[in-house]
Amino acid sequence: MDSSSNSEISHDFPPFFKVYKDGRVERYTIPDGALKHVPAGLEPVPGIQFKDVVVSSETGVKARIFLPKIDGPGERFSVVVHYHGGGFCAGSPFDSISQNFLTYLVTHANVIAISIDYRLAPEHPLPIAYDDSLAALQWIASHSEGSGPEPWLNEYADLGRVFLVGESAGANIAHYVAVQAGTIGLDGLKINGVLIVHPFFGGKEVDKMYKYLCPTSSGRDDDPKLNPGVDPNLKNMGCDRVLVCVAEKDWLRNRGEAYYETLAKSEWGGKVEFYETLDAEHCFHKFNPHSEKAAPLLRKMVDFITQE
C-alpha cells in the first residue's frame, strides 16, 4: 500500500477535528490562545483555591474543583457541577475560558464549582462522555455523609443544593444527566436547578458529525439525546428549575427554543424559564466575558443559582 494514502483525510469536521485514513485524529487549533491550559494550584482570584482530583481510577476521568473564600468553621456552599462545551470532542475544565467562567461563578454566586473532564470523542466514542458525566455526579453524591474521597466536598459542600451547568454540548450533557439522575435516583444529592446555555440538540449541519462521534445514534430526531421530546424519561428530569439561555445569532438558537417549549409542555413538574441575548453569537460570554452583552447573561446565571 502506498504510504502516502495515510496522509489522506477520511473525515473532516472543521473547526473541531479531521481524521486520516490511517486512523489518526488531528484537532484544529484555536489561534487566539483562548484554550490555553491553566495549571492547578494557582490562585486566579484572591481567596479562591482550586485543584484537580481523580473522579474514577478506572476511567482516568478527572475534575477541577474551585473552593470559594472560607469565612468561618462549618460553612457550607451550594455546588455547581459544570460540563464544558466543545462539540463532545474539544474543551477542558483546565483551559483558560473554563477557568475564567468558573471563577466568576464561584466569586459572584459564592459556590463550590466542579468541572468534569469527561473523555472526548472520537477517541472515546459517545455515549462515553455522557456515562463519564453521570458517573461524576454519582461520585459527588458519595460525599453526602461526609465520608467521600475528597475532603473539600466532605467539609464544605451542601449537596442538598446542587446545580448543573453546561454550555453547547455541555448543556446537552447537563440535560441528560439531570434526566438520568431523576430516573435512577441519587441518594444524598438534590439537583435544585439546571442551567442550559446555548444548547446543542442537533441540527442538519451537524448530524453527520454527531453520527460519527456516536456510532450507535441515528443522528436524527428519533435520538432522545438530540431530541428530548421523544425521551419517555423526560418527565423524570431530576430538578425543580431549568433556565434555558439562547443567543439571537447562534445557529443553534431555534433548537434551544424548541427545547424550552418541549420542557414547558412536558409532564415534568418543574419550572422552566427562557432567556435570550439579542445580537449575540454562540457562547460569546465565554470567549468575550468582559463584553457589554456578557454581563447581563452572567448576572442572570448568578441570580438563578442564588435565588431562594
Cell 481523580 found at:
54
- Helix, strand, coil % over all residues of the chain, rounded to 5: 30, 25, 45
Q: What does CATH list as the number for 39-306?
A: 3.40.50.1820
CB 287 within 8 A of CB 268: no
Three-class DSSP category at 4: helix
Catalytic residues: 168, 250, 282
CA gap 54, 60 in Å, rounded: 7
Work out the mean pLDDT of the chain and round it to a whole number.
93
Residue 30 has pLDDT above 90, yes or no: no
User: What's the pLDDT at 57?
Assistant: 95
Retrieve residue 81's grid coordinates.
457541577
Q: Which of 197, 203, 193, 199 lies closest to 169 in space, CA to CA?
A: 199
Confidence class for position 40, pLDDT limits 50, 70, 90: confident
Average pLDDT of the segment spanning 159-170:
98
Angle at 173 between CA 168 and CA 176, to 5 degrees: 135
Three-class DSSP category at 301: helix
What are the residue ranges spanned by the domains of the chain?
1-31, 39-306
User: What's the pLDDT at 36?
Assistant: 73
Q: What is the pLDDT of residues 215-254, one digit of tens each?
A: 999 888 899 999 999 999 999 999 999 999 999 999 999 9
**Of all residues in the chain, what percent carry a pLDDT higher than 90?**
83
